[in-house]
Structure 1
Amino acid sequence: MKRKYTIILLWTSLGTTLFFFLFFNERKDLYTFMMTLLLSTMYSFVLGFGNGFINEYLNKKFPWSEATRTRAILSIISIIIGNFILVYFCNFMNYVVIQKTATIEVFFSNKYGLTNWFMINIALLITTFLHAKGFMEELKKNSRKEVVEQKLIAKSANAQFESLKNQLDPHFLFNSLNVLSSLIDENPRQAQKFTASMSKIYRYVLEQKDKELVTVEDEMEFAKTYCDLLKTRFEDSVDFTFEVHKDDYRRYVVPLSLQLLLENCIKHNFATSSKPLVIRIFSDGDTLCIENNLQVREQIKESSGIGLANIVQRYSLLTKRNVFIEKSEDYFKVKLPMLSAKPQVSSAQPDDDSEAYQKARKRMKEIKSFYSNLISYCIIIPFLIFINLYTSRGYHWFWYPALGWGVGLAFRAFKIFGIGESWQEKKIREIMNQQNNKNNEKL
C-alpha cells in the first residue's frame, strides 16, 4: 500500500474517533477517548487495507480497460464477500474480545444481526464509492492515452502520405530525362518538342502532387498529353486506346497514378512496329483500368517496384478498397478504385464531434449514472431497514423497495456490462464485414 493511503486511513481513524467521542459517548475521559480511537483505527485499517488489497489484486489480474465486464462482476462479488468477512471480524473483535459485551453465542445470535447488517452496508457504501472512483480515474487515464495514440497515428499517416507523394517528383523527373536523353541522339527536333511538352506535364505534376485525390477527368487529360509525348518517341510502336465513360469523369483517383502505370508498361515491355505495345485505358464498373498486351523485355537490373507500390500505399491511406492486379500469359491489367467521395487523411485525428467520441461520452455517462444509483441504493436501503426494524419488527416492508430497486439496478448493470448495446454493435459490425467481403469478391 502507498504511504498516502496509510495517512488517509490515519486521518479517517482520527476523524471517526472525534465524531463518536463527542456525539455518542456520555463519558468524556481519556480511557473512553483511547478506546474509541482503538476501535476506530481497527475498523479503518482492517476495512481499508482489506478492500485495498482486493482492489489492487483485481487491478493487476483484471484491469478495467481490458476486461470491464469481468472486472465489474468480480468487483461486486468480492466487495460483498470481502466486506461481510471483514465487518464480522471487526465486530467480533469489538464486542467479544475488546469490550467483552457479548459472548460468542450471543454475538452470532439474532441480537447482533441488525448491527452486523447495518455495518456491512456502511462498509459496502464506502467500498463501492472507492471502486467507482478508481474506475473513473482509470477511464480518464485511458481516454487521454487513447487520444494521444490517435493523434500519433494521424500524424504518422500524414507523414507517410507526404513521404509517398514526395517520391513522385524525382521518379517522374528521372524517367522523363531518360526519355529525353534518348531522343537527343535519335531525333533532335522531337527532343525539342518533347522538352516543351515535358514542361507542360511537369507543371501538372507540381500542381497535383500535393493533392490527395484528383478527378478522373483531370487525370485523363494529363494521361492523354503524356501518351502524346510517348507517341512522339515510339511512333507506331505504341498504340493507346481511351474508353472511359463520361459519367465517371467526376469521380476521384490518386494523382499521377496513370502516369506511373504508363511508365511501367513502357519500362517492362518491348515495342516494335511489327509487334506494337497496345495500352488500353477504360472504366469497368467503379474501377479505372489500364491494360497492356504482355511483351516482357529482359531486365538487366531488377525493378524497384516504386511506381505500383506507391499507388497501392496511397490508396490504402485513403480507402479500404484495394488496387487489383491481374496478370496472364497475354495481358497485364491494373484496376484503380474510382471514389465518389473525397476522403481526407487528417480525418484519422480524434474530434470532439466524432461519432466514436460521442458514443464514448454516452457510455461514460451511463456508467457514472449506474454507480451513482448503486451508491444511493447502499445508503437508502440500509436506512430503510433500520427504520423498519426499529419501528415495527413484525412487518418487514423494506423488502419491497429493496427488491424493486435491486432488480432495476441488476437490469441496468446487465445492459451496461452484459450483452446490451455492445452485443448489438458486434452483430452490426459482423454483418457489415460480411457485406464488404461480398462486395470485394464481386470486384
Structure 2
Amino acid sequence: MTRKNLITLAWVSFATSMFFFFLFTTEKTIENLLLTILISSMYSFVLGGGNGLVNDFLNKKFPWSEATTKRAVISIVTILITNIILVYFCNYINFVVFQKSATTEEYFLGKYNFINWFTINIALLISAFLHAKGFMEELKKASKKEVVEQKLIAKSANAQFESLKNQLDPHFLFNSLNVLSSLIDENPIQAQKFTASMSKIYRYVLEQKDKELVTVEDEIEFAKIYCELLKTRFEDSVNFIFDIKREDLKKFVVPLSLQLLLENCIKHNLATSSKPLLIKIFTEGECLCIENNLQVREQIKESAGIGLANIVQRYALLTKRNVFIEKSDDYFKVKLPVLAEKPNFVNNVASDDDVVYERALKRVKEIKSFYSNLISYIVVIPLLVIINMISTPEHLWFYWPMLGWGIGVAAHGLSVFSIGRNWEERKIREILEKENNSYGK
C-alpha cells in the first residue's frame, strides 16, 4: 500500500462517516460521531486495504501481461474468498463488539445474513474495480513499452544499414587493392600473405554483420589482422601497441568498432617515417580504448563523422553507458563501453513486427471496451441497489438488472480473454520466434 492509497482510504472513511452520521444517526453526539468514524475507518481500511494488498500480491505473482486468463480466474477465486472473510470480520466487530446489538451465537446463526450478503456484494464490486484499475494501468505500461520497442526496431534497422555501409568501406578496399597490386610485382610472397589477411578480414565482416555484440577477444584478433594490413601499407609510418587485460577478453563490444576507429586514425592524421603515427589499443576500467597521437591531416572536405556516430548509435541501442571521446592538443582517444554480459535485445523482422503491432492495437481496443463495460456495471449496480433498498426494500427488483447485465459482462469477458485465443496467440509467437532463430543461424 502506497502513501497515496492510505490517504485515499482516509478520505473515503471520513466522507462515509459524515454521510451516515448526518443522514442515519438519530442522536448526533460526539460519542456517536467518533463511533461512526471508527466503524467507517474499519470498513474502509480492512476492506479497501485488504483488497489492495491482495491485488498488489497478485500483480507480483501473476502479472496480467504474462498470464491474462490464469490471472482472471485466480483473481475471481481470491477476491471472493478474501471478501467473505473480511466482511464477516468487519460486521462481527461492528454489530457484536462495537454496537453490541447481537451475541456471537446470534451473529453466526444467521441474524445478519442479509447484511453480510449485501456487504459482500458491495465489497466484491469495489474489489473488481481495483483489479480493473490495476489491469488498465498495466495495459498502459504495456502499450508504452510496445511503442518503445517499435522505435527501437526502426532505429536498429537504420543503425545496421549504416553499419553495413561503414563495414565495407570502399576507400579501404581501394587502398588495399593498390597495395596488393604493387606487392605482386615487388614481393609475391608478401602479396600472398596480404591477400590471406584481406580474406580473413572480409570473412570476419560477413560473420559479424548480423550480430549485436562480439567478445573483446574476437574483436582484438580481428584488429590485429587489420593492423597487419595497415602496417604493410604504411610500413614504419604507423605503429601499434596492444595492452588488453586477460579478464576483459570474454566481455563484449560492438563488432567492427575497432576497424572503424582505426580507419579514422589513418584517415584524419598524417603518418610519415619521420613523424610516425602511434595507435594504442588497451583496456581502462570498464572501457576498451583506442588512442593516437594527434597529427591532424589537412582535409579539403570536412569529415561527416559517420563512422563514430554509427558506433555511438549502436551502443545506445544496447546499453545506457556512453561512448566517451577525449581530445587534447597531443592525442585523440575514444572509450568504448565493455559489457559483462549480452543484453536481452532481439531484432525482429520488420514486417512481422508491423503485423504484431496492428494486432496489439486491436487487442487493446477490445480490452478497453470490456473494462469500460465492467466499470459501468460496477458503478451503476450499487446505485440501483441503494435506490431499491431506500425506496422499496420489501421488493428486491435489483436482482434482475444485476444478473442480466452481469451475464452480459461475463460473456464479454470470455470473448475477450478466451482460452482459445490465448492458445492461438501463443502458438503464433512460438512460430515467429522459431523463424527469427532460423534467420539468425
**CA distance in structure 1 between the aligned counterparts of 2:389 and 2:22, rounded to whole angstroms:** 27
Query: Could you tell me which residue of structure 2 aligns to residue 178 of structure 1?
Result: 179
Q: How does 1:342-421 map to 2 (within 5 A)?
A: 354-381=354-381, 387=388, 391=392, 401-421=401-421
Residue deviations 1:1-32 (CA, integer Å, cap 9, x gap): 32222222221111111111122222222111
Query: Could you tell me which residue of structure 2 aligns to residue 74 of structure 1?
Result: 74
Give the superposition deviation at 1:96.
0.9
Query: Could you tell me which residue of structure 2 aligns to residue 124 of structure 1?
Result: 124
Give the superposition deviation at 1:154.
3.2
Query: Could you tell me which residue of structure 2 aligns to residue 38 of structure 1?
Result: 38
Query: Could you tell me which residue of structure 2 aligns to residue 307 of structure 1?
Result: 202
**CA distance in structure 1 between the aligned counterparts of 2:174 and 2:211, rounded to whole angstroms:** 25
Q: Which amino acid aligns with 1:85?
A: I
Q: How does 1:147-226 map to 2 (within 5 A)?
A: 147-169=147-169, 170-182=171-183
Give the superposition deviation at 1:140.
1.6
Distance change >3 Å, CA 384–CA 16, structure 1 → 2: closer
**CA distance in structure 1 between the aligned counterparts of 2:115 and 2:34, rounded to whole angstroms:** 22
**CA distance in structure 2 between the aligned counterparts of 1:428 and 1:38, rounded to whole angstroms:** 55
Distance change >3 Å, CA 433–CA 94, structure 1 → 2: closer
Secondary structure of the residue aligned to 1:27 is coil
Give the superposition deviation at 1:418.
2.8
TM-score normalised by L of structure 2: 0.56
**CA distance in structure 2 between the aligned counterparts of 1:305 and 1:406, rounded to whole angstroms:** 70
Query: Could you tell me which residue of structure 1 aligns to residue 50 of structure 2?
Result: 50
Give the superposition deviation at 1:90.
0.5
Residue deviations 1:53-104 (CA, integer Å, cap 9, x gap): 2122112212223333322222222222111111111111001111011222
Q: Which amino acid aligns with 1:165?
A: K
Distance change >3 Å, CA 350–CA 184, structure 1 → 2: closer
Q: How does 1:235-274 map to 2 (within 5 A)?
A: none
**CA distance in structure 2 between the aligned counterparts of 1:389 and 1:5, rounded to whole angstroms:** 31
How many residues were matched structurally?
301
Asked whether the equivalents of residues 180 and 194 of structure 2 are also in contact (C-alpha less than 8 Å), the reply is: no
Give the superposition deviation at 1:370.
2.1
Query: Could you tell me which residue of structure 2 aligns to residue 25 of structure 1?
Result: 25
Query: Could you tell me which residue of structure 2 aligns to residue 133 of structure 1?
Result: 133
Give the superposition deviation at 1:373.
2.7
Residue deviations 1:319-372 (CA, integer Å, cap 9, x gap): xxxxxxxxxxxxxxxxxxxxxxxxxxxx98999x95444432332232233233
Residue deviations 1:213-262 (CA, integer Å, cap 9, x gap): xxxxxxxxxxxxxxxxxxxxxxxxxxxxxxxxxxxxxxxxxxxxxxxxxx
Asked whether the equivalents of residues 129 and 378 of structure 2 are also in contact (C-alpha less than 8 Å), the reply is: no
**CA distance in structure 1 between the aligned counterparts of 2:177 and 2:25, rounded to whole angstroms:** 98
CA RMSD after TM alignment: 4.3
**CA distance in structure 2 between the aligned counterparts of 1:433 and 1:157, rounded to whole angstroms:** 18
Query: Could you tell me which residue of structure 1 aligns to residue 104 of structure 2?
Result: 104
Distance change >3 Å, CA 167–CA 365, structure 1 → 2: closer
**CA distance in structure 2 between the aligned counterparts of 1:301 and 1:182, rounded to whole angstroms:** 13
**CA distance in structure 2 between the aligned counterparts of 1:66 and 1:429, rounded to whole angstroms:** 13
Asked whether the equivalents of residues 153 and 350 of structure 2 are also in contact (C-alpha less than 8 Å), the reply is: no
Give the superposition deviation at 1:400.
5.4
Residue deviations 1:94-120 (CA, integer Å, cap 9, x gap): 011110112223323444222112211
Q: Which amino acid aligns with 2:101?
A: T
1:92 aligns to 2:92 (yes or no): yes
Distance change >3 Å, CA 22–CA 55, structure 1 → 2: same
Distance change >3 Å, CA 20–CA 388, structure 1 → 2: closer
In structure 2, runs of 5+ residues without a counterpart are 213-346
Give the superposition deviation at 1:419.
2.1
**CA distance in structure 1 between the aligned counterparts of 2:105 and 2:381, rounded to whole angstroms:** 28
Secondary structure of the residue aligned to 1:107 is helix
1:14 aligns to 2:14 (yes or no): yes
**CA distance in structure 2 between the aligned counterparts of 1:429 and 1:38, rounded to whole angstroms:** 53
Asked whether the equivalents of residues 125 and 375 of structure 1 are also in contact (C-alpha less than 8 Å), the reply is: no
Q: Which amino acid aligns with 2:202?
A: G
**CA distance in structure 2 between the aligned counterparts of 1:431 and 1:139, rounded to whole angstroms:** 25
Give the superposition deviation at 1:50.
1.0
Distance change >3 Å, CA 299–CA 2, structure 1 → 2: same
Secondary structure of the residue aligned to 2:112 is helix
**CA distance in structure 1 between the aligned counterparts of 2:68 and 2:405, rounded to whole angstroms:** 23
Asked whether the equivalents of residues 124 and 378 of structure 1 are also in contact (C-alpha less than 8 Å), the reply is: no
Percent sequence identity is 53
Structure with greater Cα Rg:
1
Secondary structure of the residue aligned to 2:50 is helix
Distance change >3 Å, CA 9–CA 315, structure 1 → 2: closer
TM-score normalised by L of structure 1: 0.56
Q: Which amino acid aligns with 1:141?
A: K
Query: Could you tell me which residue of structure 2 aligns to residue 289 of structure 1?
Result: none
Query: Could you tell me which residue of structure 2 aligns to residue 235 of structure 1?
Result: none
